[in-house]
Chains A and B, each alone.
Chain A
Amino acid sequence: MTSVHKIVFTAMAAVALLAIQPALAHHSGAGFGKETKEISGTVKEFQFTNPHSWIQVNVADASGKIVEWSVEWGSPNQLGREGYRPSTFAPGTKVTMKVHPMSNGAPVAGFVAAKMPDGQTIGKWDGE
């Protein structure tokens, strides 16, 4: 790899990182643990609102009881500039998500990535 290629590659990697960072800029992100958990369920609502967006997902727990998860994502402004829309998580969509849950066990989490029914992924699905 030439030095020019290295510079271009580094710049592209930096841009890619910037594009996928969750950008929880409004507050400290307090409460979310470092553990990554996978949840699967049905989108109830996508709150594409400031200061941060929230994806409400109905997930069946181990006993089959439906639990509504709140998954926090970036500001709609930033997400909108990256191509996401209120329709990105349409109500009724089956989705699998990787999230950083609250360390106290509450069904609230920070968004990491999502896999849609057609296999398309959003965010850092293949590793943070």
Chain B
Amino acid sequence: MTRTTLALSVALSFMLVPSPSYGQGAAVASFDKLPDWSGVWSMMGGTVFDRATQTGEGGSVTPGVREHPPYNAEYEKRYTAHLALRDADRYPDVQTNCGVPVGYPRILNLPDAYEFVVRPDLFYIIAENGGNTMRVYTDGRKLPAKADTWGTYTGVSVGHWESDTLVWETIGLKGDRDNDSILDRTGLVLSDAVKVTTRMRKINDNTLEAKMVIEDPKAMTKPWNVTKQFRKSKPGLFLYDYGCAENNRNPVDTKTGKTLVLGVDGKPVN
């Protein structure tokens, strides 16, 4: 190999290594300055995403139950259509087919157990249900430009600490673009223009609180404020894997929206 070839190879190898496009440099907290969010947590309340605006008695699959986000006319119409399907037990939750992540912000609206992993450079939400994972980068990088996102289930999140509160912004969500990302089983959806600002902190030894401001100029007339809380479980519990496809006897028929129940022979009984 000539010196020129070697130099070219070295130069090329540097070009192939992805560069940190969004930069770092802001002060990053050290472990000893971070709050203790260790342990196993469970979401408080049922899976109606915005219980503060809920009308109707029951859970997210109970006919008549709905929430009241500040939807514009188009998205209110869409939500009303979803509610009618839900009332007829025909609104499909594709999560039930074990194929896609629940995404953000629905990852903060799940049953079963959670772990919230705080590191100086990164914050993980680990939801057993699904399983689902979300990352919030706290290493000082900036959010990418909108043109550098392409719409994913959990989007891109960058955060920082304000005393004991983790503040993060989430963009790059796919919303209802492909009809496979919802907030709950009433049929709440967001658009792909949404930005969510979340402030999360421990409000007492046993309670974590996440306050979200959801701004969606395509779907809403004003910001939507939603708060979710999580209760700490007794110490020593384990989380397990959640092999959703291990023995799924309740797939959704995506053509009809019907949740099937499979009998022992694997055939639907409903």
Contact = CB atoms under 8 A, between A and B. Distances in A.
B264 to A, nearest CB: 5
B185 A75 contact: no
Interface in B110-140: 110-113, 128-129
Interface string B74-117: 00000000000000010001001010000000000011110000
A28 B93 CA distance: 9
Given A28-B93, A28-B259, A81 B237 contact: yes
B67 to A, nearest CB: 17
B238 A108 contact: no
A31 interface: yes
A47 B247 contact: yes
Contacts of B205: none
A108 B269 contact: yes
Contacts of B269: 31, 102, 104, 106, 108
B258 A77 contact: no
17 contacts: A25-B112, A27-B252, A27-B259, A29-B61, A30-B89, A30-B270, A31-B269, A50-B244, A51-B247, A54-B249, A70-B263, A77-B128, A78-B113, A80-B238, A104-B270, A108-B263, A108-B269
B242 interface: yes
A65 interface: no
A76 interface: yes
A26 interface: yes
A96 interface: no
A106 B267 CA distance: 12
B239 interface: yes
Interface of B: 47, 61, 89, 93, 96, 98, 110-113, 128-129, 185, 233, 237-244, 246-250, 252, 258-259, 261, 263-264, 269-270
Nearest to B47: A25
Contacts of A27: 93, 96, 250, 252, 259
Contacts of A49: 243, 246-247
Nearest to A56: B264
Contacts of B233: 81
Contacts of B185: 28
A52 interface: yes
Contacts of B263: 70, 106-108
Contact of A72 (B237, B241, B242, B249): B249
A26 B240 contact: no
A70 B267 CA distance: 12
A39 interface: no
Contacts of B270: 30-31, 102, 104, 106
A30 B252 CA distance: 11
A72 B252 CA distance: 17
A112 to B, nearest CB: 16
B243 A52 contact: no
Nearest to A32: B261
A51 B128 contact: no
B239 A51 contact: no
A12 to B, nearest CB: 14
B242 A51 contact: yes
A80 B258 contact: no
